[in-house]
Amino acid sequence: MSGYYYLMAQLPVINPAAPVAFSYAKFSELAHRFLSSRDARVLDALSLEPARHEAATGSAVVDAWYRWERALRLSLARFRAAKLGRNIPYTFEEEELVSRAPDARAAAHAASSIENPLEAELALDRARLARVESLRGGHFFDSEAVFLYGLTLLLRERRDRFSAEAGRASYTTIYSQILGEQA
C-alpha cells in the first residue's frame, strides 16, 4: 500500500541512546490516517502482553512476536520458580512453544541469573528489541513494518518508565505490605 510508504517515511528513527521523539499514542493517531480498517484493528490490539493462548491477530509478525513473548514469559516463570525450589509444569503446547524459541529461553535464563531487578528487566528489554528487529526481514514500508515500529515504540516507552527511584519506592511499598500482613 502506497500510503504505508508515506507513513513509514515520516516516522522518526527510534534511537536506543536517545529519548523517543513522540509517544505511542501520537504514533497510533498518525498511523490511523493511513491504515486500512483491518490493519487499524491490529494496531489497536497491539500489546506487549500477549494473551495466554495463541489467537491469530491478522499479522504474521505480531503473531510471531506474541509466540516468542509467550515463550519468554513461560521460561521466566520456570526459572524463577526453580530459584525458589518449585517446579512449574508446562502443558504439551507450552513445552512445544518454548522448545521452538531457544533464544527466548536463553534470554530468560540470562535475565534470571541477574541479581539486580532493574538490570534484569533491561536485559529482557534488549532481548525483546532484538527479537522485534529480527522479525523485520523485508518489511520496511508495509503494514508489518507499522506494527514492528509500534512494538518498538511500546518497548521503548516501557523502558523509559524504569528508574531506580521508582523501583525502590515500589519495593518499599510491597515490602511494607508484606510485613503488615504478617504482623
Per-residue pLDDT averaged across 17-36, rounded? 93
User: What contacts 28, CB < 8 A, 6 or more positions away?
Assistant: 43, 44, 150
Residue 1: the pLDDT is 52
Residue 174 has pLDDT above 80, yes or no: no
Per-residue pLDDT averaged across 140-164, rounded? 92
Dihedral, CA of residue 10, residue 13, residue 18 and residue 23, to nearest 10: 50
Tell me the C-alpha distance between 130 and 152, whole Å.
Answer: 10
Residue 155: the pLDDT is 95
Pick from 99-108, 146-155, 161-170: least confident: 161-170
Given a contact cutoff of 8 angstroms between Cβ atoms, the answer to whether 62 and 46 are in contact is yes
Given a contact cutoff of 8 angstroms between Cβ atoms, the answer to whether 108 and 79 are in contact is yes
Structure confidence by residue, pLDDT tens digits, 48-59: 999 988 999 999
Pick from 1-5, 9-13, 17-21, 121-125: least confident: 1-5
First vs last Cα of the chain: how many Å apart? Answer: 62
Residue 150: name the closest of 17, 29, 51, 58 by CA. 29
Residue 94 has pLDDT above 90, yes or no: yes
Tell me the C-alpha distance between 87 and 72, whole Å.
Answer: 17
Pick from 83-87, 131-135, 145-149: least confident: 83-87
Given a contact cutoff of 8 angstroms between Cβ atoms, the answer to whether 31 and 43 are in contact is yes
Helix count (H) and strand count (E) of the chain? 9, 0
Residue 148 grid coordinates:
514492528
User: What contacts 180, CB < 8 A, 6 or more positions away?
Assistant: none
Given a contact cutoff of 8 angstroms between Cβ atoms, the answer to whether 124 and 110 are in contact is no
